[in-house]
Structure 1
Amino acid sequence: MGTALVTGASAGLGLEFAWQLATARHDVVLVARDEGRLTRLAAQLEAAAGIRAEVLAADLTDRADVERVAARLRDDERPVGLLVNNAGMGLNQPFVDGDVAAEERALDLMVRAPMVLSHAAAGAMKRRGRGAILNVGSVAGLTASGTYSAHKAWVRVFTEALAVELKGTGVTATVVAPGFTHTEFHERGRIDTAHYPSVAWLDAEDVVAGALADVRRGVVLSTPSLRYKAVSTILKLVPRSAVRTFSGYRRALADDAPDVPTVDA
């Protein structure tokens, strides 16, 4: 059934992508920083789904590690048919008074790494005449909530441009833009979500299933759920001044909580 490479596979949406792809009989290449966690996951996937799970431990904020993953994607002897650029980081800090080194790491993880890996995958897939790239964006890319919004806006436009360039090659590019999704992402980052109503939340299983279905159909812009389709439409139509009014950095769950990044990588 082919091989899929998933970044940020040890937690959150990446973990769900790994499970759904494995149960659909795809071999998987699992990429994240925590080799021990990946090894345990690989054993579970192989036992449950009868597929091959390869572990590739890498820190995607490190250019050398990114290149190791890119080299795996360029390997025509072990072709990867689907790349899922999922690894992400939520910085629990404002920009102006925050740590710029942390901002640079987030930029490396959510902009540079998907660009380099997409370049490697697209080249190899184009040579074979088939393949797909799925980038995980966010509805936040339509807002003005710090640099996270800026990174996800870049992912959306980049994916659209990539889809245009790949048209007619047999290779597709899709960006999925979920809203708030039940994973450990917010809790690990000590991000206050108490003011968001329950209707705002999506289940990771549904987000991933919808994204993979859209990849199979060759959809470029994938927005999970009718509610976030409506939200996205509204955000595109209202004046940007109104969007800025309702955007902004959210404080941590506790005033003394450390401003540490939450990483799904």
Structure 2
Amino acid sequence: MQPRALVTGASSGLGAEFALQLAADGLSLVLVARDAERLEELAAELRAARGVEVEVLAADLTEAEGLQRVADRLADAARPIDILVNNAGFAVAEPFHASAVDDERRMHELLSWVPLRLAHAALPGMRARGRGGILNVASLAGRLPSGTYAAAKAHVITLSRALHARYRGEGVTVTALLPGFVPTEFHERMGVAPTSVPRQGWADASTVVREGLRALRRRRGLVVSDWRYRIAAPLIPLVPDRIAAGFGLGGRTS
């Protein structure tokens, strides 16, 4: 039986790239996102190009019913999930004092609660089988005081570290992937043009995904991607908060 991965936010951006690279490695896939049409297009492409089994699960993870369906799929012992990629996300463009509180709630649920809920659903089966991997797409923003998006990503980093420390000895790896800026649809969906970041500051999506999957295979609990951001990461604690707060959103996915 082919190993199987479930990827959230799989319709575009880093999620689609995760699907492409996992299929290239021979894994069967469960693709999760709201846009069923885009998921079906990607699934057909992967089946034709890679000959892997691809299941489409259209769901809005900010809705209780959609989240429960994905959690149930993860807990299905008859069709086990070997790798969970928690990738779905969005950000609120407005500053905190001007943002809609319902938008803030949805963002924090998707970025913080959903990875926790889905990891909670996946872990029992992984522990019973003595193997498994959970890759949480966090952000280098989670180490910066740059808004509520950063606060949510800080939660993802801490959650990943805690779960990795607790379950690594039982064969389950939990890895936090910390990208910087990545050219996907993320900023476009926010309605923000990312013109303030020089082209040299953008990381390649395929590199970010490859480094994340490699860290998971090597059972690492955390990886900063790519080399430019690995150089910058140790300097972040030295930057005063009033300056670091202006760095804005660290790269995200669709």
CA RMSD of aligned residues (A): 1.6
SS of the equivalent of 2:225 reads: coil
Distance in structure 1 (CA, Å) of the matches to 2:74 and 2:189: 30
Distance in structure 1 (CA, Å) of the matches to 2:5 and 2:242: 38
Relative to structure 1, the CA distance from residue 132 to residue 32 in structure 2 (aligned partners, 3 Å threshold; closer, same or farther) is: same
Distance in structure 2 (CA, Å) of the matches to 1:224 and 1:82: 20
**Cross-structure match for 2:49:** 48
Q: Please list every run of 5 or more consecutive structure 2 residues that lacks an aligned counterpart in the other structure.
A: none
Q: Which residue of the other structure, out of 241, 244, 262, is the alignment partner of 2:242?
A: 244
Q: State the identity as a percent.
A: 45
Shift of 1:250: 5.8
Aligned length: 251
What letter corresponds to residue 230 of structure 2 in structure 1?
Answer: K
**Cross-structure match for 2:111:** 110
Shift of 1:22: 0.7
**Cross-structure match for 1:101:** 102
Contact 2:168/2:174 (CA < 8 Å) preserved in 1?
Answer: no
Larger proportion of helix: 2
SS of the equivalent of 2:41 reads: helix
Q: Deviations over 1:145-192 (max 9, x none)?
A: 111000100000000000011021011100000000111211232223
**Cross-structure match for 1:124:** 125
Moved over 3 A (4+): 248-251
Shift of 1:227: 1.5
Contact 2:185/2:253 (CA < 8 Å) preserved in 1?
Answer: no
Distance in structure 1 (CA, Å) of the matches to 2:91 and 2:99: 13
**Cross-structure match for 1:28:** 29
**Cross-structure match for 1:72:** 73
Q: Deviations over 1:62-103 (max 9, x none)?
A: 122111101111111001000000001021111111100000
Distance in structure 2 (CA, Å) of the matches to 1:263 and 1:165: 27
Q: Please list every run of 5 or more consecutive structure 1 residues that lacks an aligned counterpart in the other structure.
A: 252-261
TM-score of the two chains, using structure 2 as the length reference: 0.95
Distance in structure 2 (CA, Å) of the matches to 1:90 and 1:228: 21
